[in-house]
A and B are shown apart, each in its own frame.
Chain A
Amino acid sequence: MKPFTYFSPTTLSDATRVLADYGADARCLAGGTDLLIRMKRHQWLPRAVVNLKRIPWLRDVAINAELRIGALVTLQDLVRAPIIREHFPVLAYAASKMAGVQVRNLATVGGNLCNASPAADTAPPLIALNARAVVVGARGERVIPLDEFFTGVGKSALAPDEILCEILVPRDDAVRASFIKLEHREAMDISIASVAVSLRNQKSEIKNQKCEDVRIVLGAVAPVPMRARQAEEILRGKELTEERIRQAARVAAREAQPIDDVRGSAWYRREMVEVLTRRQLIAMGKNVA
C-alpha cells in the first residue's frame, strides 16, 4: 500500500469538504471490502481516504411512506433486518447471495452501488423497485433515480465531492419483485448474469394477471446494471400470458450487451438473460394465479 492521509469526519459537510479538496485523489471508506483490496493490489492509489463510519444515521433502516436505507447499512443488515425481510424480501434475498458472512458483515449497500460494478447484486433489485439515491455534495443535496446512477464500468453519476447517503425505495403493496443470480459456484461467487423483475398489479387485475407496470433489470451483462426497456414494453399493461413472457424474455436477451471474460462468454450470458427472465416471470405469474 502507498502512504495516504486518513480522514475520519463526523459530519457530512466535513466529509464533502475533504472530497472537494482532494477531488479524484480521495476515496471514501465504508466497509473497505473493495477499497482495501484494490489499494493493496496498487490498482487504486488514493492520496486521501475518508472514513464515513463516524457519521451518524448513515446506518439506519426506516420505513414510512418509503423505505430509507442508509448507505452504510451492511449487506448482512439487509439480510437480517425485519423491516427488509417483511416488506422487501427480494433485497434480503439478493444480499444473501453476495459474498460470505464475514464480508457481508463489513460490506455496505452504498459501497456496493458506488463501486459501480456491472455485477453489483444490490443494483438490479433496487432498480426494479424504482429506488432513488440521495447524494450530498459541497453544493447541497440531490436525488438521482437509481437507473440513472450508473454511467459505466466503475463509474457513477456522483461528482468527486459527492457522497451517497441513502437509498429511497417507494412502498407499494401492489408491487412484487424477484431476483435470480446465476453463478458457476453455488455461493461466494460473482454473478455470471442476474435478472431482477418487479410486477405491479392492482388487486382487481390480479385475476386476469394484467400487469400494470413492470421492470426487468439485468446485471453483469452490460457496462452498467440495465433495464430491458423493450422487454418491459411488451408486458406493460398487458395480460401475462406464457407466449408474451417468452417473447419478452427473448427481447431482454437481445437488449443485453454482454462481454466475454473469465466468468463466462458473451453468448452464454445473453442466453441466460432469456432463461432467467422467463423463469421468474412464469413463476410470478403462477403465484398470482
Chain B
Amino acid sequence: MPQLGQSLTRLDARAKVTGDAQYPGDINLPGQLWMKVLFARRPHARIKRLDTAQAERAPGVARVFTARDVPVNEFGLGAKDAPVLVADKVRWVGEKIALVVAETEAQAEYARDLIAVEYDDLPAIIDPRDAMKPGSAQVHPAYPGNVIKHIPIRKGDVAQGFAQSDVIVESEYHTPAQEHAYLQPEAGIAYTESAFSIDDENRVTVIVAGQWTHEDQEQIAHALGLRLDQVRVIYPAIGGAFGGREDMSVQIILALAAIKLNRPVKIIWSREESIIGHHKRHPMWLKSKWGATRDGKIIAAQVEIISDAGPYTTTSTKVLGNAAFGVVGPYEVPNVQVDAYTIATNNIVSGAFRGFGGPQAHFQAETQMNKLAEKLGMDPVEIRLKNVLREGSLLSTQTPLPGGKVSLPQIVEKCADEFGWSQKSKIENIVLSVAKDRKSKIGYGFACALKNIGFSFGYQENAWAKVELHGAAEIDQVIVYHAAAEVGQGTHTALAQMAANALGVPLEKIELRASDTATSENSGSVSASRMTYIGGNAIKGASERALKKWNDEERPAIAEYKYLAPKTTNYDPETGKATPNIAYGYVAQAVEVEVDTETGHVRVARVTCADDVGHAINPRLIEGQIEGAVIQAQGWTIQENFQSKNGNVLTPHLSTYLIPGILDVPDRVDSVILEFPDYNGPWGARGMAEMPFIPLAPAIIAAVHDATGVWFDEFPLTPWKVLEGLKKKLDADRFARG
C-alpha cells in the first residue's frame, strides 16, 4: 500500500496525549543543580559594578557565572556579535548578566536577587528610522550608522514604469512585532559523562528544545572553546518553535555550567523569562508606490523596507533578503526598485518567525494590489489573475521560477471557487439579516502569496540521512537516522512515511532515531518550510541506496546519503539579480469578517485557504499546519499586541499579550489542498508550513475595508484602533459633504 497521501496517525500522538512524552523540563537527573539567569531588564546601559559575593555565599549556591567565565564570549546565527554573558554593555532587555546555579530552583532565585549590579543607563535607540540617520548614537561597534545590511533590487526602470501608469497607489505600512508564544517555555538540562576536562575525550550533553541540533552544537562548541565532538545535543519532545528556537537561549549557558561543575544542571524559564528572553518577529516599515495600467496590469513597484533588528544580527539579514524578495508579491512586475534596510536598535532582538519576512512583505504587496483593484473598479481575484507569476515569468531578481508548474492561477481560481467569491453578495444578504441587531458589518477579502522552500541566496542546501535494513528473507526492521527536530509539526511522521514508501514496507517497521548529534550527521534546521523537501530527499536517497544493497543481498543493508539541492546565488550587490531559491509553494486565501462598528471588534468568520503542496504526504498534518498558521496569523493581525516602551516590554505575560483563544478563532477554516508536483521535491512534495500564515493579514485588512470603507495600513486591529479609523472616515465623509 502506498504510504504517501495517507493521514496516518502521527508517531508521537499516543505519548503526547497520555503525557508520556518527555519535554526538556520533564527530564531530571540524579544530583542535578538548578540555574537562574539574571537578565538586564533595561535596554541600554553600561555595567559600572557587578558584585556577586553575597550571592555566592547564599544557601545552596554552587557557583555564580559572569562574562569572565565564558571562554569565547560570543555567539549568533548570522554573525557572532552577541555576548553569552554581558561584560560591559547592555544592548537589550533580555541580555544575560549572570547565572546562578544552586541545589534548588528557589535557592538559585534567592541568590540571583542578591547580585548587585550598578548600571549607567544610556539613552535607548528605539526608532530604526531615526537610528539610520546620520549622527545617531551607535548601538553596536560592528554596525556603523546602525545599518546592519542594505539590499537593493533594480529591475527595469521604475520612473518610466510610473510614467506609463494610469493609476498609482502610494502607502506607508507598518507591521508589528510578534511573540512566538509556544506552549513550552525554554528549558533544558546538561551533563558531563564523568569529570570533564577540555583536553579529554569527554563531552558535555545538552538536552534542549531547538530547531537545529547541529547548529546548537556548533554555537555551544564555539563559545566554550570545545571541539564539535565534545558537545552532544539531543532534542526530546519539543513544545512548538515557529522560528523562536532558532537562536540560542539556554543551550550555551547550560553546557558552561555543567562543564565547570561536573554535575547535571537544569533550567526552566518562566513565561515572562521566555517573552523577554527570546527574539520577536521583525517590526517593519514599508513605503510603497505601485503603478498599473487601466486594464489592471502592474508595471512598476517601488518599495523601501526598514526592518528593526534589535542590537544583534541573528537572522535579520536573511529575513531582510526574504522580505526584499517578497515585496512585489507573487506577481510579475517589469519595473522594480527595492531598497531594504535592517537597522540596529535597543529594542528586543528580532529574528526568525514563521514566514521569515514574507508576511511583512506580502502585507504591503497584497494591500497595494487590493487598493489598485479598488481604484480600477476591478475584482480582486480578476486583477490577480492578470498579474500572477507563471512558468517562464521573470522574478524581480530577473530569473525564472524553478520546479516546473507555477500554479498561482490555479490556486487563486480554486480558492475563489471554494469560497464562493463570485456569489458572495448573496451570502452577505443572508448573514446581514442575522447580524443587523449586533451593529455588525460583513466584509470579504482576498490575498495570495508565494513562499520559498529551503535556505536561499547561495546557501548550499543539504541534508543527511542514514537507513539500516535488518532482516533475512524480508525486511523486518528499518532504522532511520536523521537529525530533523520534531517541534510539533509532525515532521518525524512525514519522514517515516517517506522512508516506508521508498522501501515498500509498512510504517510500523520504521524506527526513527532522530535529533541526536551523536548518532546523526547534519540534517539542517526545521525552518524555511524545508524539512519535507530537503530532509525528504535525503531520506529518499538513503532509502533507495539501502534498498539496492538489500537487493544485492547485503545484510544488514546500510546506506547514508547527503542530499545536495540545486544551487542558488546571492543578490548582486547593485542590481539584486539572483537565482534566489530552489523551490516555492503557492497559496491563496479568502476571508469573511464581521466588524462591530460601535466597539471596533473584528471577528473572522470564515477562511478558505488553498495551498499547492506538491504532494500531500500526510493530508491531516497539512490541515493542522493550515489551521494553526491561520490562527497564528489572525493573532498577529487582530488580538496580539506586543507593546514596548523605550525598549522595555510592557506585555511580558500571556495575560497582557493576548493570543487568540478558542472563541476568537474563525468559525470555519476550509483547507483546500492542491498537488502540482515540484520536479525536484521528493515525490513532487513542496514545503508548506509557513505559507498559510502569509496572506491572512492583507486578506483580513481587505475584508475590513470591504465592510467599513477604511484601509488600515497598520495593525494589530485592536478595537480602539479600528474605532479610531472608523471615526476618521466619518469625519472625512462629513467634511466632504460640507
User: Which residues of A are interface residues toward B (Cβ below 8 A)?
Assistant: 1, 42, 182, 184-190, 192, 262-265, 267-268, 271-272, 275
Which of A1, A188, A262 makes the CB contact (< 8 A) with B661?
A188
Q: Are A271 and B723 interface neighbours, CB within 8 A?
A: yes
List chain B residues, Cβ under 8 A from A186. Answer: 661, 663-664
Distance between Cα atoms of A78 and B719 in the complex (Å): 30
Indicate if the CB atoms of B720 and A264 lie closer than 8 Å: yes
Are B661 and A184 neighbours in the complex by a CB distance under 8 Å? no
A264 to chain B: which residues have CB within 8 Å? 718-720
- Complex: A182 Cα to B718 Cα, angstroms: 12
Judge whether A184 and B718 touch: CB under 8 Å.
Answer: yes
- Name the A residues within 8 Å of B660 (CB-CB): 185
In the complex, what residues of A have CB within 8 A of residue B641's CB?
184, 262
**Please, which residue of chain B has its CB at the minimum distance from the CB of A268?**
B720
Look across to chain B and name the residue whose beta carbon is closest to the beta carbon of A2. B110
CB distance from B474 to the nearest CB of A (A): 51
B656 at the interface (CB under 8 A from A): yes
**CB-CB < 8 A to A271: which residues of B?**
723
What is the bound-complex CA distance between A247 and B655, given in angstroms?
A: 35
Known: A262-B650, A265-B720, A268-B719. A184 touches B663 (CB 8 A): no
CA–CA, A187 and B662, complex, Å: 8
C-alpha gap A268/B724 in the complex (Å): 9
Contact A272 B599 (CB under 8 A): yes
In the complex, B417 has a CB within 8 A of chain A: no
Knowing that A184-B641, A264-B720, A275-B598 are A-B contacts, what are 15 other residue pairs whose CB atoms are under 8 Å apart, sorted by A's residue number? A1-B106, A184-B719, A185-B639, A185-B660, A185-B663, A186-B661, A186-B663, A187-B663, A188-B661, A190-B655, A262-B641, A263-B656, A264-B719, A268-B600, A268-B720
**A233, chain B: closest CB distance, angstroms:** 25
Cα separation A189 to B720 with both chains bound (whole Å): 16
Alpha-carbon distance between A272 and B439 when the two chains are bound, in angstroms = 14
Rounded to whole angstroms, the CA-CA distance of A34 and B88 in the bound complex is 38
Which of B's residues lie within 8 Å of A, judged by CB? 106, 113, 598-600, 639, 641, 643, 650-651, 655-656, 658, 660-664, 718-720, 723-724
Residue of B nearest to A267 (CB): B720
**Of B599, B639, B643, B724, which contacts A262 at CB under 8 A?**
B643
A107 to B106, CA, bound (A): 25
Complex CA distance for A189 and B664, rounded to whole angstroms: 12
The 8 Å CB contact of B658, one of A1, A182, A189, is A189
Contact partners of A187 in chain B: CB under 8 A = 661-663
User: Are B723 and A184 in touch, CB under 8 angstroms?
Assistant: no
| Residue among A42, A182, A188 facing the most chain B CB atoms (10 A cut-off) | A188
Rounded to whole angstroms, the CA-CA distance of A159 and B608 in the bound complex is: 58
Question: Which residue of chain A is the closest to B662 with respect to CB atoms?
Answer: A187
CB atoms of B723 and A185 under 8 A apart: no
List of B residues within 8 angstroms of A268 by Cβ: 600, 719-720, 723-724
Complex Cα–Cα for A271 and B600 (A): 11
Which residues of chain B are within 8 angstroms of A188 by Cβ–Cβ distance? 661
Residue of A nearest to B639 (CB): A185
Q: Which residue of B lies closest to A184 (CB)?
A: B658
In the bound complex, residues from chain A placing their C-beta under 8 Å from that of B723 are 268, 271
Residue among B650, B661, B724 making CB contact with A185, cutoff 8 Å: B661
B655: which A residues are within 8 A, CB to CB? 190
**Whole-angstrom distance between the alpha carbons of A192 and B643 in the complex?**
16
Bound CA–CA A275/B599 (angstroms): 8
- Within the complex, the shortest CB–CB distance from A266 to chain B, in Å, comes to 10
A-B pairs with beta carbons under 8 Å apart, 15 shown: A185-B660, A185-B661, A185-B664, A186-B661, A186-B663, A187-B663, A188-B661, A192-B719, A262-B641, A262-B643, A262-B651, A262-B656, A264-B718, A265-B720, A272-B599
A265–B724 alpha-carbon span in the complex (Å): 11
Chain B residues whose C-beta falls within 8 Å of the C-beta of A265 in the assembled complex: 720
Q: Give Cα A272 to B598, complex, Å.
A: 8
**CB neighbours of A272 from chain B (8 A):** 599
In Å, the complex CA distance between A187 and B170 comes to: 38
Question: Which chain B residues lie closer than 8 Å to A192 at the CB level?
Answer: 719
- CB < 8 Å: which of A42, A182, A263, A267 contacts B599? A182
| Minimum Cβ distance to chain B for residue A245 (Å) | 15
| Distance to closest chain B CB from A282 (angstroms) | 10
Distance in angstroms from A54 CB to nearest chain B CB is: 26
